[in-house]
Structure 1
Amino acid sequence: MATPQFTSDVEAVDALAQAYQDLRTEIGRVIVGQEEVVKTVLISLFSNGHSLLVGVPGLAKTLLVSTISEVLDLDFKRIQFTPDLMPTDITGSEILNDERHFEFNRGPLFANIVLADEINRTPPKTQAALLEAMQERSVTVSGVRHQLPAPFFVLATQNPIEQEGTYPLPEAQLDRFMFNIPLDYPSYEEELAVVRNTTGVERSSVKHVLSGAQILYFQQLVRKIPISDNVLEYAVKLTGKTRPNTSRAGTNVNEYISWGAGPRASQYLVLGAKCHAAISGKYSPDIEDVQAIAKYVLRHRIVRNYKAEAEGITEEQVIQGLF
Protein backbone atom coordinates (compact mmCIF):
# COMPACT_ATOMS: atom_id res chain seq x y z
CA MET A 1 0.00 0.00 0.00
CA ALA A 2 1.43 3.34 -1.06
CA THR A 3 1.59 6.57 0.91
CA PRO A 4 -1.90 8.10 0.95
CA GLN A 5 -2.66 11.27 -1.02
CA PHE A 6 -5.18 13.81 0.27
CA THR A 7 -6.32 17.17 -1.07
CA SER A 8 -6.20 18.81 2.38
CA ASP A 9 -5.10 18.17 5.95
CA VAL A 10 -8.77 18.14 7.00
CA GLU A 11 -9.41 15.24 4.62
CA ALA A 12 -6.30 13.51 5.97
CA VAL A 13 -7.48 13.87 9.58
CA ASP A 14 -10.85 12.41 8.58
CA ALA A 15 -8.96 9.48 7.00
CA LEU A 16 -6.98 8.99 10.24
CA ALA A 17 -10.23 8.86 12.24
CA GLN A 18 -11.63 6.29 9.79
CA ALA A 19 -8.43 4.22 9.90
CA TYR A 20 -8.65 4.19 13.69
CA GLN A 21 -12.23 2.90 13.55
CA ASP A 22 -11.21 0.22 11.05
CA LEU A 23 -8.37 -0.86 13.33
CA ARG A 24 -10.69 -1.04 16.33
CA THR A 25 -13.12 -3.19 14.36
CA GLU A 26 -10.46 -5.67 13.24
CA ILE A 27 -8.77 -5.89 16.64
CA GLY A 28 -12.20 -6.45 18.20
CA ARG A 29 -12.51 -9.68 16.21
CA VAL A 30 -9.81 -11.19 18.43
CA ILE A 31 -9.65 -9.04 21.56
CA VAL A 32 -12.81 -8.98 23.68
CA GLY A 33 -13.31 -5.83 25.74
CA GLN A 34 -10.19 -3.83 26.76
CA GLU A 35 -11.54 -0.97 24.61
CA GLU A 36 -9.72 1.77 26.52
CA VAL A 37 -6.47 -0.21 26.37
CA VAL A 38 -6.74 -0.72 22.59
CA LYS A 39 -7.57 2.97 22.10
CA THR A 40 -4.58 4.11 24.14
CA VAL A 41 -2.13 1.76 22.40
CA LEU A 42 -3.29 2.97 18.98
CA ILE A 43 -2.89 6.61 20.08
CA SER A 44 0.71 5.86 21.07
CA LEU A 45 1.37 4.20 17.68
CA PHE A 46 0.02 7.17 15.73
CA SER A 47 2.01 9.50 18.02
CA ASN A 48 5.24 7.53 17.40
CA GLY A 49 5.50 6.53 21.05
CA HIS A 50 6.09 3.30 22.97
CA SER A 51 3.67 1.74 25.45
CA LEU A 52 4.05 -0.31 28.61
CA LEU A 53 1.15 -2.68 29.39
CA VAL A 54 0.95 -3.55 33.08
CA GLY A 55 -1.15 -6.38 34.47
CA VAL A 56 -1.18 -9.85 35.96
CA PRO A 57 -0.64 -12.86 33.66
CA GLY A 58 -3.55 -14.07 31.54
CA LEU A 59 -5.08 -10.72 30.53
CA ALA A 60 -4.21 -11.09 26.82
CA LYS A 61 -1.41 -8.50 26.83
CA THR A 62 0.72 -10.55 24.43
CA LEU A 63 -2.27 -11.45 22.24
CA LEU A 64 -3.20 -7.78 21.98
CA VAL A 65 0.26 -6.77 20.72
CA SER A 66 0.51 -9.62 18.21
CA THR A 67 -2.99 -8.84 16.91
CA ILE A 68 -2.09 -5.17 16.42
CA SER A 69 1.00 -6.17 14.44
CA GLU A 70 -1.15 -8.38 12.20
CA VAL A 71 -3.71 -5.64 11.58
CA LEU A 72 -0.96 -3.12 10.77
CA ASP A 73 0.87 -5.41 8.31
CA LEU A 74 4.23 -4.78 9.99
CA ASP A 75 7.28 -6.92 10.74
CA PHE A 76 6.81 -8.26 14.27
CA LYS A 77 9.30 -9.81 16.70
CA ARG A 78 8.68 -11.09 20.21
CA ILE A 79 11.41 -11.08 22.86
CA GLN A 80 10.75 -13.10 26.00
CA PHE A 81 12.65 -11.35 28.78
CA THR A 82 14.21 -13.75 31.28
CA PRO A 83 16.80 -13.36 34.08
CA ASP A 84 19.56 -14.86 31.90
CA LEU A 85 18.87 -12.73 28.78
CA MET A 86 21.92 -10.76 27.62
CA PRO A 87 21.92 -7.35 25.84
CA THR A 88 23.38 -8.92 22.67
CA ASP A 89 20.44 -11.34 22.60
CA ILE A 90 18.29 -8.28 21.87
CA THR A 91 20.46 -5.97 19.78
CA GLY A 92 22.53 -8.55 17.91
CA SER A 93 26.29 -9.02 17.89
CA GLU A 94 29.42 -9.17 15.74
CA ILE A 95 30.17 -12.64 14.39
CA LEU A 96 33.11 -14.01 12.39
CA ASN A 97 31.99 -14.92 8.87
CA ASP A 98 33.50 -17.42 6.42
CA GLU A 99 35.90 -14.77 5.07
CA ARG A 100 37.31 -14.28 8.59
CA HIS A 101 35.73 -10.83 8.85
CA PHE A 102 33.40 -9.61 11.54
CA GLU A 103 29.88 -8.84 10.41
CA PHE A 104 26.86 -7.65 12.36
CA ASN A 105 24.21 -10.28 13.01
CA ARG A 106 20.97 -8.39 13.69
CA GLY A 107 18.97 -9.26 16.76
CA PRO A 108 15.18 -9.36 17.17
CA LEU A 109 15.13 -5.63 17.92
CA PHE A 110 15.29 -5.02 14.16
CA ALA A 111 11.54 -5.11 13.49
CA ASN A 112 8.69 -2.62 13.15
CA ILE A 113 6.89 -3.79 16.28
CA VAL A 114 8.89 -5.35 19.08
CA LEU A 115 7.02 -7.07 21.89
CA ALA A 116 9.20 -6.93 25.00
CA ASP A 117 7.34 -9.61 26.92
CA GLU A 118 7.61 -9.42 30.72
CA ILE A 119 10.27 -6.73 30.48
CA ASN A 120 10.72 -6.59 34.25
CA ARG A 121 11.81 -10.24 34.41
CA THR A 122 15.31 -9.34 33.20
CA PRO A 123 18.09 -7.47 35.08
CA PRO A 124 18.68 -3.71 34.52
CA LYS A 125 21.75 -4.32 32.30
CA THR A 126 19.59 -6.06 29.70
CA GLN A 127 16.71 -3.61 30.14
CA ALA A 128 19.15 -0.80 29.35
CA ALA A 129 19.82 -2.32 25.90
CA LEU A 130 16.47 -0.84 24.87
CA LEU A 131 17.27 2.74 25.90
CA GLU A 132 19.07 3.85 22.74
CA ALA A 133 16.66 1.94 20.49
CA MET A 134 13.58 3.54 22.03
CA GLN A 135 14.90 7.10 21.96
CA GLU A 136 17.21 7.24 18.93
CA ARG A 137 15.66 4.44 16.84
CA SER A 138 19.14 2.98 16.42
CA VAL A 139 21.50 0.44 17.97
CA THR A 140 25.24 0.89 18.51
CA VAL A 141 27.36 -2.29 18.51
CA SER A 142 31.18 -2.22 18.59
CA GLY A 143 31.10 1.53 17.94
CA VAL A 144 29.00 1.21 14.78
CA ARG A 145 25.51 2.71 14.67
CA HIS A 146 22.79 0.63 13.02
CA GLN A 147 19.48 2.32 12.12
CA LEU A 148 16.29 0.51 13.09
CA PRO A 149 13.44 0.15 10.57
CA ALA A 150 10.66 2.73 10.46
CA PRO A 151 8.09 2.77 11.89
CA PHE A 152 9.50 1.33 15.11
CA PHE A 153 7.49 0.63 18.27
CA VAL A 154 8.31 -1.10 21.52
CA LEU A 155 5.21 -2.49 23.18
CA ALA A 156 6.30 -3.97 26.49
CA THR A 157 4.34 -6.05 28.97
CA GLN A 158 5.08 -6.04 32.66
CA ASN A 159 3.86 -8.00 35.63
CA PRO A 160 3.20 -6.07 38.85
CA ILE A 161 6.41 -5.21 40.69
CA GLU A 162 5.16 -6.96 43.83
CA GLN A 163 5.44 -10.38 42.21
CA GLU A 164 8.54 -12.51 42.82
CA GLY A 165 11.41 -12.57 40.33
CA THR A 166 10.91 -9.08 38.93
CA TYR A 167 13.28 -6.12 38.57
CA PRO A 168 11.74 -2.63 38.80
CA LEU A 169 12.35 -0.62 35.64
CA PRO A 170 14.66 2.37 36.25
CA GLU A 171 13.17 5.85 35.86
CA ALA A 172 15.21 6.54 32.69
CA GLN A 173 13.72 3.42 31.10
CA LEU A 174 10.17 4.24 32.20
CA ASP A 175 10.47 7.77 30.82
CA ARG A 176 11.04 6.34 27.32
CA PHE A 177 7.51 4.96 27.33
CA MET A 178 4.85 7.40 26.18
CA PHE A 179 2.07 5.55 28.03
CA ASN A 180 1.83 3.26 31.03
CA ILE A 181 -1.41 1.35 30.48
CA PRO A 182 -2.93 -0.74 33.28
CA LEU A 183 -4.98 -3.82 32.42
CA ASP A 184 -7.70 -5.05 34.74
CA TYR A 185 -9.69 -8.25 34.93
CA PRO A 186 -12.52 -8.54 32.38
CA SER A 187 -16.16 -8.21 33.38
CA TYR A 188 -18.27 -11.34 33.70
CA GLU A 189 -19.81 -10.83 30.24
CA GLU A 190 -16.40 -10.19 28.65
CA GLU A 191 -14.85 -13.25 30.28
CA LEU A 192 -17.82 -15.33 29.13
CA ALA A 193 -17.20 -14.15 25.53
CA VAL A 194 -13.44 -14.85 25.82
CA VAL A 195 -14.01 -18.40 27.01
CA ARG A 196 -16.67 -19.03 24.36
CA ASN A 197 -14.42 -17.72 21.56
CA THR A 198 -11.25 -19.52 22.62
CA THR A 199 -12.49 -22.98 23.56
CA GLY A 200 -14.02 -23.92 20.22
CA VAL A 201 -12.60 -25.07 16.91
CA GLU A 202 -12.82 -21.81 14.94
CA ARG A 203 -10.16 -19.11 15.31
CA SER A 204 -10.81 -15.46 14.60
CA SER A 205 -8.64 -13.95 11.88
CA VAL A 206 -7.94 -10.32 11.01
CA LYS A 207 -7.11 -8.51 7.79
CA HIS A 208 -4.44 -5.86 7.20
CA VAL A 209 -5.71 -2.29 7.59
CA LEU A 210 -2.64 -0.03 7.38
CA SER A 211 0.86 -0.34 5.89
CA GLY A 212 4.10 1.02 7.33
CA ALA A 213 4.09 3.92 4.84
CA GLN A 214 0.56 4.91 5.86
CA ILE A 215 1.48 4.82 9.56
CA LEU A 216 4.50 7.06 8.95
CA TYR A 217 2.25 9.47 7.04
CA PHE A 218 -0.29 9.62 9.88
CA GLN A 219 2.50 10.12 12.45
CA GLN A 220 3.60 13.25 10.58
CA LEU A 221 -0.03 14.34 10.25
CA VAL A 222 -0.53 14.16 14.02
CA ARG A 223 2.42 16.51 14.51
CA LYS A 224 0.91 18.97 11.99
CA ILE A 225 -2.40 19.24 13.87
CA PRO A 226 -2.63 22.78 15.28
CA ILE A 227 -2.97 23.35 19.02
CA SER A 228 -4.05 26.59 20.70
CA ASP A 229 -1.75 28.34 23.15
CA ASN A 230 -4.10 27.85 26.10
CA VAL A 231 -4.17 24.05 25.59
CA LEU A 232 -0.39 23.94 25.15
CA GLU A 233 0.07 25.98 28.33
CA TYR A 234 -2.40 23.75 30.19
CA ALA A 235 -0.36 20.63 29.29
CA VAL A 236 2.91 22.18 30.47
CA LYS A 237 1.31 23.50 33.68
CA LEU A 238 -0.21 20.07 34.35
CA THR A 239 3.25 18.51 34.21
CA GLY A 240 4.60 21.26 36.45
CA LYS A 241 1.95 20.48 39.07
CA THR A 242 3.46 17.01 39.58
CA ARG A 243 6.76 18.43 40.85
CA PRO A 244 6.82 18.71 44.67
CA ASN A 245 8.00 21.86 46.40
CA THR A 246 7.57 24.04 43.30
CA SER A 247 5.27 27.01 42.79
CA ARG A 248 2.55 24.98 41.00
CA ALA A 249 2.57 21.94 43.28
CA GLY A 250 -0.55 21.40 45.38
CA THR A 251 -0.88 19.98 48.88
CA ASN A 252 -1.32 16.37 47.70
CA VAL A 253 1.79 16.50 45.52
CA ASN A 254 3.95 18.02 48.27
CA GLU A 255 2.64 15.48 50.75
CA TYR A 256 2.75 12.28 48.70
CA ILE A 257 5.19 12.68 45.78
CA SER A 258 9.00 12.45 45.89
CA TRP A 259 9.68 13.22 42.21
CA GLY A 260 7.53 14.69 39.49
CA ALA A 261 7.39 14.34 35.71
CA GLY A 262 9.99 15.84 33.38
CA PRO A 263 9.59 17.79 30.11
CA ARG A 264 9.08 14.61 28.08
CA ALA A 265 5.71 14.28 29.81
CA SER A 266 4.64 17.67 28.44
CA GLN A 267 5.66 16.63 24.94
CA TYR A 268 3.68 13.40 25.15
CA LEU A 269 0.65 15.18 26.64
CA VAL A 270 0.54 17.47 23.60
CA LEU A 271 1.14 14.71 21.02
CA GLY A 272 -1.34 12.39 22.71
CA ALA A 273 -3.97 15.15 22.91
CA LYS A 274 -3.53 15.90 19.20
CA CYS A 275 -4.05 12.26 18.26
CA HIS A 276 -6.94 11.84 20.70
CA ALA A 277 -8.66 14.83 19.11
CA ALA A 278 -8.10 13.49 15.58
CA ILE A 279 -9.57 10.04 16.24
CA SER A 280 -12.50 11.74 18.00
CA GLY A 281 -13.39 13.72 14.88
CA LYS A 282 -11.85 17.04 15.96
CA TYR A 283 -9.25 19.07 14.07
CA SER A 284 -7.58 20.65 17.10
CA PRO A 285 -7.23 19.35 20.68
CA ASP A 286 -8.86 20.98 23.70
CA ILE A 287 -8.20 20.63 27.43
CA GLU A 288 -10.47 17.56 27.63
CA ASP A 289 -8.18 15.75 25.18
CA VAL A 290 -5.18 16.45 27.42
CA GLN A 291 -7.06 15.18 30.46
CA ALA A 292 -8.20 12.04 28.60
CA ILE A 293 -4.64 10.75 28.19
CA ALA A 294 -2.97 12.44 31.20
CA LYS A 295 -3.08 9.48 33.57
CA TYR A 296 -1.35 7.23 31.03
CA VAL A 297 1.41 9.79 30.48
CA LEU A 298 1.96 10.74 34.13
CA ARG A 299 1.36 7.61 36.22
CA HIS A 300 4.84 6.14 35.61
CA ARG A 301 6.62 9.51 35.79
CA ILE A 302 5.71 10.43 39.34
CA VAL A 303 7.29 8.66 42.30
CA ARG A 304 5.27 8.21 45.47
CA ASN A 305 6.97 8.67 48.82
CA TYR A 306 6.79 6.39 51.84
CA LYS A 307 3.78 8.23 53.29
CA ALA A 308 1.74 7.69 50.12
CA GLU A 309 2.54 3.98 50.12
CA ALA A 310 1.72 3.65 53.82
CA GLU A 311 -1.64 5.38 53.36
CA GLY A 312 -2.46 3.55 50.14
CA ILE A 313 -2.50 6.68 47.97
CA THR A 314 -2.13 5.71 44.31
CA GLU A 315 -0.60 7.65 41.42
CA GLU A 316 -4.06 7.85 39.81
CA GLN A 317 -5.52 9.55 42.90
CA VAL A 318 -2.77 12.17 42.88
CA ILE A 319 -3.16 12.78 39.11
CA GLN A 320 -6.95 13.12 39.42
CA GLY A 321 -6.39 15.88 41.97
CA LEU A 322 -4.39 17.89 39.42
CA PHE A 323 -7.36 18.64 37.13
Structure 2
Amino acid sequence: MTDFLAACVVAGTPLVFATLGELITEKSGSTNLGVEGMMLIGAVMGFLAAMNTESPVVAILAAAVAGAAGALIYAILTVTLRANQIVCGLTLTIFGTGYAQFVGQPLLGMSAPSSVISFFGKISIPVLGDIPFIGPVFFQQDLFVYLSYIMCGLAAVYMYRTRMGMNLKALGESNAAADASGINVALYKYIHILIGGALCGLGGAYLSLVRMPIWQENIVNGRGWIAVALVIFVAWNPIKGFFGAALFGGLSILGLRLQAMGFNVSQYLVDMIPYVATILIVIFSTYKKKKESQPPADLGNNYFREER
Protein backbone atom coordinates (compact mmCIF):
# COMPACT_ATOMS: atom_id res chain seq x y z
CA MET A 1 0.00 0.00 0.00
CA THR A 2 2.78 2.43 0.87
CA ASP A 3 4.46 1.72 -2.47
CA PHE A 4 1.27 2.60 -4.32
CA LEU A 5 0.74 5.82 -2.34
CA ALA A 6 4.35 6.83 -2.93
CA ALA A 7 3.82 6.20 -6.65
CA CYS A 8 0.67 8.38 -6.50
CA VAL A 9 2.76 11.26 -5.15
CA VAL A 10 5.29 10.81 -7.94
CA ALA A 11 2.63 10.55 -10.66
CA GLY A 12 0.89 13.63 -9.27
CA THR A 13 3.99 15.83 -9.10
CA PRO A 14 3.74 17.28 -12.63
CA LEU A 15 0.07 18.00 -11.90
CA VAL A 16 1.06 19.82 -8.69
CA PHE A 17 3.25 22.29 -10.58
CA ALA A 18 0.73 22.76 -13.40
CA THR A 19 -2.17 23.18 -10.97
CA LEU A 20 -0.27 25.74 -8.89
CA GLY A 21 0.65 27.62 -12.06
CA GLU A 22 -2.92 27.81 -13.31
CA LEU A 23 -4.24 28.56 -9.81
CA ILE A 24 -1.97 31.58 -9.41
CA THR A 25 -2.84 32.77 -12.90
CA GLU A 26 -6.57 32.50 -12.26
CA LYS A 27 -6.26 34.28 -8.93
CA SER A 28 -5.09 37.30 -10.93
CA GLY A 29 -8.32 37.13 -12.95
CA SER A 30 -6.86 35.48 -16.06
CA THR A 31 -8.02 32.17 -17.51
CA ASN A 32 -5.04 30.62 -19.28
CA LEU A 33 -6.05 27.39 -21.02
CA GLY A 34 -2.55 27.07 -22.46
CA VAL A 35 -1.30 24.90 -19.57
CA GLU A 36 -0.76 21.89 -21.85
CA GLY A 37 1.26 24.01 -24.27
CA MET A 38 3.42 25.58 -21.57
CA MET A 39 4.13 22.16 -20.06
CA LEU A 40 5.23 20.86 -23.46
CA ILE A 41 7.45 23.89 -24.06
CA GLY A 42 9.03 23.46 -20.64
CA ALA A 43 9.46 19.72 -21.17
CA VAL A 44 11.26 20.03 -24.50
CA MET A 45 13.44 23.01 -23.54
CA GLY A 46 14.40 21.42 -20.23
CA PHE A 47 15.32 18.19 -22.02
CA LEU A 48 17.25 20.07 -24.72
CA ALA A 49 19.18 22.06 -22.10
CA ALA A 50 19.99 18.84 -20.24
CA MET A 51 21.30 17.22 -23.42
CA ASN A 52 23.50 20.20 -24.28
CA THR A 53 24.85 21.06 -20.82
CA GLU A 54 24.33 17.87 -18.76
CA SER A 55 23.49 20.23 -15.91
CA PRO A 56 20.27 19.55 -13.96
CA VAL A 57 20.19 23.11 -12.63
CA VAL A 58 20.43 24.61 -16.11
CA ALA A 59 17.77 22.19 -17.32
CA ILE A 60 15.35 23.25 -14.56
CA LEU A 61 15.99 26.94 -15.20
CA ALA A 62 15.56 26.47 -18.95
CA ALA A 63 12.21 24.73 -18.41
CA ALA A 64 10.96 27.46 -16.08
CA VAL A 65 12.07 30.26 -18.40
CA ALA A 66 10.54 28.50 -21.41
CA GLY A 67 7.21 28.09 -19.63
CA ALA A 68 7.29 31.74 -18.58
CA ALA A 69 8.07 32.74 -22.18
CA GLY A 70 4.97 30.92 -23.36
CA ALA A 71 2.95 32.67 -20.65
CA LEU A 72 4.43 36.01 -21.74
CA ILE A 73 2.88 35.56 -25.17
CA TYR A 74 -0.49 35.01 -23.50
CA ALA A 75 0.02 38.01 -21.18
CA ILE A 76 0.86 40.39 -24.02
CA LEU A 77 -2.20 39.31 -25.98
CA THR A 78 -4.68 39.38 -23.10
CA VAL A 79 -3.39 42.06 -20.73
CA THR A 80 -1.88 44.59 -23.14
CA LEU A 81 -3.91 43.91 -26.29
CA ARG A 82 -7.03 42.69 -24.40
CA ALA A 83 -7.60 39.74 -26.71
CA ASN A 84 -10.03 36.96 -25.79
CA GLN A 85 -8.47 34.90 -23.00
CA ILE A 86 -10.03 31.58 -23.95
CA VAL A 87 -8.95 31.84 -27.58
CA CYS A 88 -5.41 32.91 -26.63
CA GLY A 89 -5.07 30.03 -24.17
CA LEU A 90 -6.21 27.46 -26.71
CA THR A 91 -3.88 28.97 -29.29
CA LEU A 92 -0.98 28.72 -26.83
CA THR A 93 -1.70 25.02 -26.38
CA ILE A 94 -1.66 24.50 -30.15
CA PHE A 95 1.54 26.52 -30.46
CA GLY A 96 3.23 24.65 -27.61
CA THR A 97 2.30 21.28 -29.10
CA GLY A 98 3.72 22.20 -32.50
CA TYR A 99 6.82 23.80 -30.98
CA ALA A 100 7.59 20.72 -28.88
CA GLN A 101 7.17 18.43 -31.88
CA PHE A 102 9.42 20.61 -34.04
CA VAL A 103 12.22 21.11 -31.50
CA GLY A 104 11.93 17.59 -30.14
CA GLN A 105 12.00 15.79 -33.49
CA PRO A 106 15.81 15.28 -33.46
CA LEU A 107 15.60 14.17 -29.82
CA LEU A 108 13.11 11.33 -30.28
CA GLY A 109 14.19 8.22 -28.40
CA MET A 110 17.14 9.93 -26.73
CA SER A 111 17.66 9.46 -23.00
CA ALA A 112 18.47 12.30 -20.63
CA PRO A 113 22.13 12.42 -19.50
CA SER A 114 22.97 10.07 -16.65
CA SER A 115 24.22 13.02 -14.56
CA VAL A 116 20.78 14.60 -14.72
CA ILE A 117 18.95 11.34 -14.02
CA SER A 118 21.14 10.56 -11.00
CA PHE A 119 20.75 14.10 -9.66
CA PHE A 120 17.00 13.56 -9.47
CA GLY A 121 17.28 10.14 -7.84
CA LYS A 122 15.37 9.32 -4.68
CA ILE A 123 16.65 10.78 -1.42
CA SER A 124 15.46 9.74 2.01
CA ILE A 125 15.21 12.68 4.41
CA PRO A 126 16.84 11.81 7.76
CA VAL A 127 14.38 11.13 10.61
CA LEU A 128 11.33 12.02 8.49
CA GLY A 129 12.04 9.22 6.05
CA ASP A 130 12.07 6.71 8.91
CA ILE A 131 8.55 7.53 10.13
CA PRO A 132 6.33 4.47 9.60
CA PHE A 133 3.98 4.76 6.61
CA ILE A 134 4.39 8.55 6.24
CA GLY A 135 8.15 8.36 5.65
CA PRO A 136 8.12 5.97 2.64
CA VAL A 137 5.19 7.83 1.06
CA PHE A 138 6.31 11.46 1.42
CA PHE A 139 9.95 11.59 2.49
CA GLN A 140 11.70 8.99 0.36
CA GLN A 141 11.22 10.79 -2.93
CA ASP A 142 13.23 12.76 -5.47
CA LEU A 143 14.20 16.44 -5.30
CA PHE A 144 11.40 17.53 -7.63
CA VAL A 145 8.80 16.04 -5.29
CA TYR A 146 10.31 17.90 -2.34
CA LEU A 147 10.29 21.06 -4.44
CA SER A 148 6.57 20.58 -5.01
CA TYR A 149 6.04 20.49 -1.22
CA ILE A 150 7.94 23.75 -0.86
CA MET A 151 6.04 25.41 -3.71
CA CYS A 152 2.65 24.45 -2.25
CA GLY A 153 3.66 25.82 1.14
CA LEU A 154 5.07 29.05 -0.29
CA ALA A 155 1.97 29.56 -2.45
CA ALA A 156 -0.31 29.12 0.57
CA VAL A 157 1.69 31.54 2.73
CA TYR A 158 1.91 34.05 -0.12
CA MET A 159 -1.80 33.96 -0.95
CA TYR A 160 -3.18 33.97 2.59
CA ARG A 161 -0.53 35.64 4.76
CA THR A 162 1.06 38.43 2.71
CA ARG A 163 -0.10 41.82 1.51
CA MET A 164 0.73 41.03 -2.09
CA GLY A 165 -1.30 37.84 -1.82
CA MET A 166 -4.28 39.81 -0.52
CA ASN A 167 -3.83 42.27 -3.40
CA LEU A 168 -3.81 39.32 -5.79
CA LYS A 169 -7.10 38.05 -4.36
CA ALA A 170 -8.61 41.54 -4.64
CA LEU A 171 -7.47 41.74 -8.23
CA GLY A 172 -9.25 38.52 -9.13
CA GLU A 173 -12.46 39.66 -7.46
CA SER A 174 -12.58 43.07 -9.13
CA ASN A 175 -9.99 44.60 -11.44
CA ALA A 176 -11.62 48.03 -11.21
CA ALA A 177 -11.77 48.05 -7.40
CA ALA A 178 -8.15 46.88 -7.18
CA ASP A 179 -7.09 49.65 -9.56
CA ALA A 180 -9.01 52.24 -7.57
CA SER A 181 -7.21 51.13 -4.39
CA GLY A 182 -3.83 51.76 -6.00
CA ILE A 183 -2.89 48.27 -7.21
CA ASN A 184 -1.07 48.20 -10.53
CA VAL A 185 -3.41 45.81 -12.33
CA ALA A 186 -1.31 45.21 -15.43
CA LEU A 187 1.91 44.65 -13.47
CA TYR A 188 0.25 42.20 -11.07
CA LYS A 189 -1.28 40.28 -13.94
CA TYR A 190 2.01 40.07 -15.84
CA ILE A 191 3.97 38.91 -12.80
CA HIS A 192 1.53 36.19 -11.79
CA ILE A 193 0.87 34.97 -15.31
CA LEU A 194 4.64 34.57 -15.80
CA ILE A 195 5.01 32.78 -12.45
CA GLY A 196 2.18 30.48 -13.48
CA GLY A 197 3.88 29.74 -16.80
CA ALA A 198 7.20 28.99 -15.09
CA LEU A 199 5.51 26.48 -12.76
CA CYS A 200 3.81 24.80 -15.73
CA GLY A 201 7.21 24.58 -17.43
CA LEU A 202 8.62 22.86 -14.34
CA GLY A 203 5.75 20.38 -14.44
CA GLY A 204 6.65 19.51 -18.01
CA ALA A 205 10.34 19.21 -17.11
CA TYR A 206 9.52 16.67 -14.41
CA LEU A 207 7.99 14.43 -17.05
CA SER A 208 10.90 14.66 -19.49
CA LEU A 209 13.78 14.62 -16.97
CA VAL A 210 12.56 12.49 -14.07
CA ARG A 211 9.32 10.63 -14.69
CA MET A 212 10.13 9.43 -18.22
CA PRO A 213 13.67 10.65 -19.04
CA ILE A 214 13.45 9.59 -22.68
CA TRP A 215 12.09 12.15 -25.12
CA GLN A 216 8.86 11.18 -26.82
CA GLU A 217 6.16 13.11 -28.61
CA ASN A 218 3.16 14.29 -26.61
CA ILE A 219 4.93 13.48 -23.37
CA VAL A 220 2.47 15.61 -21.37
CA ASN A 221 -0.45 13.54 -22.67
CA GLY A 222 -3.35 15.72 -21.54
CA ARG A 223 -2.11 16.46 -18.03
CA GLY A 224 -2.43 20.19 -18.70
CA TRP A 225 -6.18 19.86 -19.17
CA ILE A 226 -6.45 17.79 -16.00
CA ALA A 227 -4.61 20.57 -14.14
CA VAL A 228 -7.13 23.14 -15.37
CA ALA A 229 -9.97 21.04 -13.95
CA LEU A 230 -8.01 20.36 -10.75
CA VAL A 231 -7.94 24.08 -9.99
CA ILE A 232 -11.75 23.95 -9.80
CA PHE A 233 -11.69 20.67 -7.87
CA VAL A 234 -9.39 22.07 -5.14
CA ALA A 235 -11.31 25.37 -4.98
CA TRP A 236 -8.24 27.50 -5.79
CA ASN A 237 -6.44 26.24 -2.67
CA PRO A 238 -2.74 25.34 -3.12
CA ILE A 239 -2.60 22.84 -0.23
CA LYS A 240 -5.66 21.01 -1.49
CA GLY A 241 -4.01 21.19 -4.91
CA PHE A 242 -1.24 18.87 -3.77
CA PHE A 243 -3.60 16.18 -2.53
CA GLY A 244 -5.87 16.58 -5.55
CA ALA A 245 -2.88 16.10 -7.84
CA ALA A 246 -1.82 12.98 -5.91
CA LEU A 247 -5.37 11.62 -6.27
CA PHE A 248 -5.36 12.10 -10.03
CA GLY A 249 -1.81 10.76 -10.19
CA GLY A 250 -3.10 7.62 -8.52
CA LEU A 251 -5.93 7.34 -11.04
CA SER A 252 -3.42 7.56 -13.89
CA ILE A 253 -1.41 4.56 -12.60
CA LEU A 254 -4.34 2.55 -11.31
CA GLY A 255 -4.43 0.31 -14.38
CA LEU A 256 -0.83 -0.80 -13.97
CA ARG A 257 -1.44 -1.51 -10.30
CA LEU A 258 -4.53 -3.62 -10.99
CA GLN A 259 -2.72 -5.59 -13.69
CA ALA A 260 0.20 -6.21 -11.31
CA MET A 261 -2.31 -7.63 -8.83
CA GLY A 262 -3.57 -10.08 -11.43
CA PHE A 263 -6.81 -8.35 -12.45
CA ASN A 264 -7.68 -8.65 -16.12
CA VAL A 265 -8.59 -4.99 -16.74
CA SER A 266 -8.38 -3.24 -20.08
CA GLN A 267 -5.64 -0.61 -19.95
CA TYR A 268 -7.61 1.54 -22.37
CA LEU A 269 -10.58 1.57 -19.99
CA VAL A 270 -8.45 2.48 -17.00
CA ASP A 271 -6.67 5.20 -18.97
CA MET A 272 -10.04 6.88 -19.37
CA ILE A 273 -10.58 7.27 -15.61
CA PRO A 274 -8.63 10.54 -15.02
CA TYR A 275 -10.32 12.21 -17.98
CA VAL A 276 -13.79 11.00 -17.04
CA ALA A 277 -13.15 12.33 -13.53
CA THR A 278 -12.05 15.63 -15.07
CA ILE A 279 -15.34 15.92 -16.96
CA LEU A 280 -17.31 15.12 -13.81
CA ILE A 281 -15.41 17.81 -11.88
CA VAL A 282 -16.31 20.43 -14.46
CA ILE A 283 -19.97 19.35 -14.39
CA PHE A 284 -20.37 19.23 -10.61
CA SER A 285 -18.42 22.45 -10.07
CA THR A 286 -21.49 24.34 -11.25
CA TYR A 287 -23.36 23.08 -8.17
CA LYS A 288 -20.89 24.40 -5.58
CA LYS A 289 -22.60 26.95 -3.36
CA LYS A 290 -19.92 27.81 -0.80
CA LYS A 291 -18.32 31.18 -1.41
CA GLU A 292 -14.79 29.85 -0.92
CA SER A 293 -15.45 27.27 -3.64
CA GLN A 294 -16.41 29.87 -6.22
CA PRO A 295 -13.97 31.17 -8.86
CA PRO A 296 -12.64 34.74 -8.66
CA ALA A 297 -15.51 37.04 -9.60
CA ASP A 298 -13.57 38.83 -12.34
CA LEU A 299 -12.03 35.67 -13.81
CA GLY A 300 -11.74 35.81 -17.58
CA ASN A 301 -12.59 39.50 -17.91
CA ASN A 302 -10.10 41.79 -19.60
CA TYR A 303 -9.59 45.13 -17.90
CA PHE A 304 -9.40 48.50 -19.65
CA ARG A 305 -8.84 51.33 -17.23
CA GLU A 306 -10.70 53.91 -19.31
CA GLU A 307 -13.88 51.82 -19.07
CA ARG A 308 -14.16 52.20 -15.29
Give the structure-1-normalised TM-score: 0.25
* More strand as a share of residues: 1
Give the structure-2-normalised TM-score: 0.26
* More helix as a share of residues: 2
